[in-house]
Chains A and B, each alone.
Chain A
């Protein structure tokens, strides 16, 4: 069998083998979460939780906690209020402030979330059966006769546990190391944080309910569902100890007199280290819900050509002023630039995060700035300037000489036997100058009787004496 036929046979066998394999699922590695029941009408709900809920109403939902690393991970899952970060960014309160303790309590959407019993682990790529919905994990409360039994021995009666949502069969419902009763007595939440252990490439569904209190004000209330890796405390050491966590935004809009309005707060151009500028637009949300804004900063050079575009869609939180630092790096040649800001958003009060509609555009100030050239560009420019000056000087010198020649040189009639070299030598000038002034071309032969310009003081040669 020839080599080519052998190769073809091997390729064919591999192709057949691959065709026989089942579909392969690949996930990006990491530890994080996703909404378990995204809404088809709002693609944004693939990544965050978006609700419109009347005061006094409750919605059920769920979050997948996903571990696509190759290690077993133990995590805390908890809800927290949102808090603005510097520059108006979205951030979440810390775990210590999320337990409804006496010193730091949740007050907003974070407090409205009650975590349910985590479900059995699934493979990371698994999907839920279509019959499973967010409501599947919660049974409506029923009126039962008072039950003073305490099956798990945590000091809470079955009636207490039913009212508080704790598990009557678990001493520590959320698995955080403190019994349900200890947490209740201490003013902490017996249902949070939930401790989960996830094997590699698995996910766990954590159902939750969001109950909006009857007193909730109109507008958007933001909270977070957070996943934080549980690590043993570090003993000793010095400096800053770092932990990491990931959060999913929970945006709850209480309907009513909704205002969606943005205003441009400013547009600054600041120096940047090392070189260049920082273009810093800031936009103020004057409404009572968050707004997705299309921020565009377009910078053009002196000739009107677009040098750089910055921006994209950002979420500007209710009552916040968001600012961004767009870097315009040092350009090689430097020069004058003009930068302009526009902000487009959807003013439709009936739309929430992720909705599409026609946009209102705000135009901000136009700022002009100058960038110094780089050192290399300065050297090149200086060299070019020097060269230019040299050329100008030489041109002026040549012009001066031409003027001098035309003013002072006299006519000389060429005689038989004159050559340009001989005349130049006799007159003490370069033969090339003589040729240039008289526009003589190679081979520079002189014809007797022709008139030539000659330097001042040159005299006709005395007649030659021949034997």
Chain B
């Protein structure tokens, strides 16, 4: 009987020593809690951001200047998606993955014109002599952000606007194998505009809309 009591005392002492030496097990066992967190599905969207990833207030593309010419159609070039104005495509949607497209079109539709704000205008979707804007997405660079990849993304071809035939041009298309969620920057899309001969010298603008669908 005495031996049994001694054994019990020994076990108690060992238990106390153990609990003193390894307190973490005891503390965590008493506070086991399941943390609950929900990540809501986001949306598909496109934005223009600067090098610091801040949305650009009034994004624009400057074209190379050309000098008035009586006889020759000239080319003026620009870059859509410069490093200071990156095209950022964000797909925060949840599974199952859905294919998406990023397209560019004149914001005023197929009847839009380059305009100096007054009476001087010329086409962006006419013949080469009337004025034609060519968008070359194939020379662009896709840069995945975070740890995303470019898998499943396909760049558009070099295409010219043509009224009634090509009113919208594909910059990027994604299959269901693209990362979802995912986010990519697209830079370096080539723009080439033919300037009609004897076009009145002025500063011209054209509004383009990028659409993610």
Contacts and interface: CB of A to CB of B under 8 A. Distances in A.
A242 B41 contact: no
A240 interface: yes
Interface in B45-100: 45-48, 57-63, 78, 80, 85, 90, 92-94, 96-99
Interface string B96-122: 111101010111110100000100000
A28 B139 contact: no
Best-surrounded residue of A5, A16, A32, A295 (most CB of chain B within 10 A): A32
Nearest to A94: B109
Interface string A309-343: 00111110000000111110000000000000000
Interface string B189-210: 0010000000000011111111
Give the interface centre of A68, A236, A312 by most chain B CB atoms within 10 Å. A312
A31 B45 CA distance: 6
B105 A94 contact: yes
Contacts of B45: 30-32, 244, 246
A86 B157 contact: yes
Contacts of B63: 238-240
Interface string A185-211: 000000000000000000000000000
B170 A312 contact: no
Contacts of B47: 30-31, 244
A431 B72 CA distance: 82
Given A241-B206, A312-B99, A224 B213 contact: yes
B15 interface: no
B128 interface: no
A28 B213 contact: no
A239 B61 contact: yes
Interface residues of B, number: 79
A92 B33 contact: no
A315 B99 contact: yes
A19 B28 contact: no
Contacts of B108: 94, 96
Contacts of A248: 213
Given A5-B23, A18-B35, A243-B207, A48 B111 contact: no
B61 A240 contact: yes
B103 A325 contact: no
A247 B40 contact: no
Given A25-B38, A89-B170, A314-B173, A240 B43 contact: no
A69 to B, nearest CB: 8
B187 interface: no
Contacts of B33: 15, 18-19
B85 to A, nearest CB: 8
B177 A34 contact: no
A430 B66 CA distance: 78
B138 A325 contact: yes
A311 B98 contact: no
A30 B38 contact: no
A242 B211 contact: no
Interface string A26-56: 1111111110000000011011100000000
B177 A311 contact: yes
B7 interface: no
